[in-house]
Amino acid sequence: MQPTFTSSASFKAFLLAFIICTLVGSKPAQADIYRYVDEDDIVHFTDAPTDKRFKVFMRDLKKDKELRTKLKYASSVNPAEFEQLIKTCSEKYGVNASLVKAVIHAESGYNPNAVSSKGASGLMQLMPATAKSLKVADRFNPKDNVEGGVKYLRFLLDTFRGDVSLAVAAYNAGLNKVAKYGGIPPYNETRTYVNRVLSYMKSYQESGI
């Protein structure tokens, strides 16, 4: 789906059609709708963005509700234990602490001993090659792991000029994949991951945790 409109009339017609479908019970594709206006003032819409110029225009309310998960943790972990470490690393590398917490929450649920099926380890689930490039001595050591993870987030944010969504997508799918598609890769896992991290980040910001 990627309709293009060359006038405000066409744009209004699209909105009207979408609203009517919703009101009469027709079910449009359950996906976020993205939009951007090009240099010729043509409005583009899609539900599968492959260009970083696309920005969320209309949320899939059902999916958005599902992703707004309350901040819950396993009884065996204590997020407060890592509060100072996160604060120190966030300030050192200039990365929003809420974003760091959101990534940790999504990656390991604050379990410093977590290991994924792909071999990622620790609080921020660093892969062996990534950890080596970041000079992380012990991926299971919270201090080493978080320092490396935040440093990597800083690199990704700089690479994508501060675009948090793209940085998070690259954290999950890899820098090359985001560069290849010119935006968030069309993988359900990555899109779900990006939405989850952004939702967690917003929850941390609003709760002041």
Reply yes or no on whether 107 is catalytic: yes
Crossing angle of helices 164-173 and 142-159, in 10° steps, is 120
Q: Which residues contact 68 (CB under 8 A, 6 or more apart)?
A: 199, 203
Specify the 3-state DSSP secondary structure of 58. strand
- The single-letter code of the amino acid at 204 is Y
Selected catalytic residue, list 39, 83, 91, 107: 107
First to last CA, the chain: 39
- The single-letter code of the amino acid at 141 is N
Where in the sequence numbering do the catalytic residues fall? 107
